[in-house]
Amino acid sequence: MSLAYEVLATDGAARRARLETAHGAVNTPVFMPVGTAGTVKAMTVEGVAATGAEILLGNTYHLMLRPGAEVVAKLGGLHRFMNWDKPILTDSGGFQVMSLSDRRKISEDGVEFASHIDGNLFKLTPERSVEIQHLLDADITMVLDECTAWPATEAEAAESMRRSMRWAARCKDAFIDRPGYGLFGIVQGSVHGELRRESAAALIDVGFDGYAVGGLAIGEGQEMMFRVLDETVPALPATCPRYMMGVGAPADIVGAVGRGIDMFDCVMPTRSGRTGKGFTRRGEINIRNARHAEDPRPLDADCKCPTCAGYGRAYLNHLFKAKEILGAMLLTTHNLHYYQDLTSGLRDAIEAGNYARFAAEFAAGQALGDIDPL
């Protein structure tokens, strides 16, 4: 294996670990802000680093369309291109091909699709996906997989999963092994536990640096998502990092950590920051609501982020009503700080053997709601 991974503490199934990459260490559990097109929206990389983020996610699909992987490589790789000197994980493009592009044609060889930008035709094979991620200089490369549609019959999920497993083996053959860089496999199988276990066994047989759980948080609901994790995670190696793709809501993260997941990514904190939703220790806030228009309090009295330190809810409410760009910047900054505080708190709790108490206090705080009078 080319990535060094060490479990430092456990509390039940929850794990506190460290992952060493070519561009630095990642402490887990970890949340990875999403830098889809080489940028975390409404943030500078300096601002992202100041939240405590240690790793970003980049997107193969978007970067292959523009400016192009070869262009990024010519300019020194994605780290230099976007001025981020810490680790980067790139997803394979499979999810975006399924969710964004038109005229998709899936075959054993790969997937042909039309760009959602200009309609130009592209073909993405397992080998090309790995090549693009190599050109981007991703510390962690993800295998190309087919994100099974939801809902899907068990037969449809089985066919999709087994194709993804064959693609995963081809990705492993195409990956150039080097110190500090790694390749993660992706477990598929929809909500069917037997298929999930079959997928995990196939990936372990090939051998990867880490194992992701894909194809969840796409409409199945939290209860079913957690059930799938309960059936899947025990089938994954305890000596490798586990990554739950596209998750998610704070409660999803807390619950998944308790089931043995180490790594997360989601557009939720940044997308919410651009649309007026803030995450706090007492639940979610819609800053556009009229009740915030004369409220001088910060979003979260216990938050140490620059937004909460310097700006009140009334000002944020004004910025969103006036459609000022600063509103999105300040709320995104807060949300990313909140997510990093959440995972930092989880790491501390696991080290202290207090995960269950942390989870209970988190749930109690969220249930209170933001209802205190001025």
Those residues with Cβ within 8 angstroms of residue 32's Cβ, 6 or more apart along the chain or in another chain: 53, 55, 56, 57, 89, 263, 264, 265
Q: What is the pLDDT of residues 177-227, one digit of tens each?
A: 999 999 999 999 999 999 999 999 999 999 999 999 999 989 899 999 999
Give me the pLDDT at residue 97, please: 76
How far is residue 308 CA from its own chain's centroid?
Answer: 25
Give me the pLDDT at residue 307, please: 98
Query: Residue 93: is its pLDDT beyond 90?
Result: no
Which H or E run includes 325?
A: helix 325-352
Query: Residue 104: is its pLDDT beyond 90?
Result: no
Q: What is the pLDDT of residues 288-324, one digit of tens each?
A: 999 999 999 999 999 999 999 999 999 999 999 999 9
**Model confidence pTM above 0.85:** yes
Catalytic residue IDs: 91, 265
Strands 182-187, 140-142: pairing is parallel
Do residues 29 and 343 touch, judged by C-beta distance below 8 A? yes
User: Domain 4-266, what architecture?
Assistant: Alpha-Beta Barrel (3.20)
How far apart (Å, rounded) are the C-alpha atoms in residues 88 and 210? 14
Query: Residue 350: is its pLDDT beyond 80?
Result: yes
Q: What are phi and psi of 154, to 5 degrees?
A: -60, -35
pLDDT band (50, 70, 90) for residue 147: confident
pLDDT band (50, 70, 90) for residue 162: very high
As a whole number, the mean pLDDT across the chain is 95
Give me the pLDDT at residue 175, please: 98
- Average pLDDT on 98-124 reads 86
Domain ranges for the chain: 4-266, 277-368
Question: What's the token pair of residue 295?
Answer: 């409220």
Give me the pLDDT at residue 99, please: 74
How far apart (Å, rounded) are the C-alpha atoms in residues 147 and 97? 9
Cis geometry, peptide bond prior to residue 33 (ω within 30 degrees of 0): no
Query: Residue 372: is its pLDDT beyond 70?
Result: no
Q: What is the pLDDT of residues 49-71, one digit of tens each?
A: 999 999 999 999 999 999 999 99
Give me the pLDDT at residue 1, please: 59
Nearest Cα neighbor of 41 from 243, 267, 227 is: 267
Higher-pLDDT residue of 267 and 370 is 267
Give me the pLDDT at residue 98, please: 73
How far apart (Å, rounded) are the C-alpha atoms in residues 251 and 225? 12
* % of the chain with per-residue pLDDT over 90: 89
Nearest Cα neighbor of 314 from 298, 336, 334 is: 298
pLDDT band (50, 70, 90) for residue 95: confident
pLDDT band (50, 70, 90) for residue 371: low
196: β partners: none
Q: What is the pLDDT of residues 237-292, one digit of tens each?
A: 999 999 999 998 999 999 999 999 999 999 999 999 999 999 999 999 999 999 99
Question: What's the token pair of residue 342?
Answer: 């959440």
Query: Residue 374: is its pLDDT beyond 60?
Result: no
* % of the chain with per-residue pLDDT over 70: 98
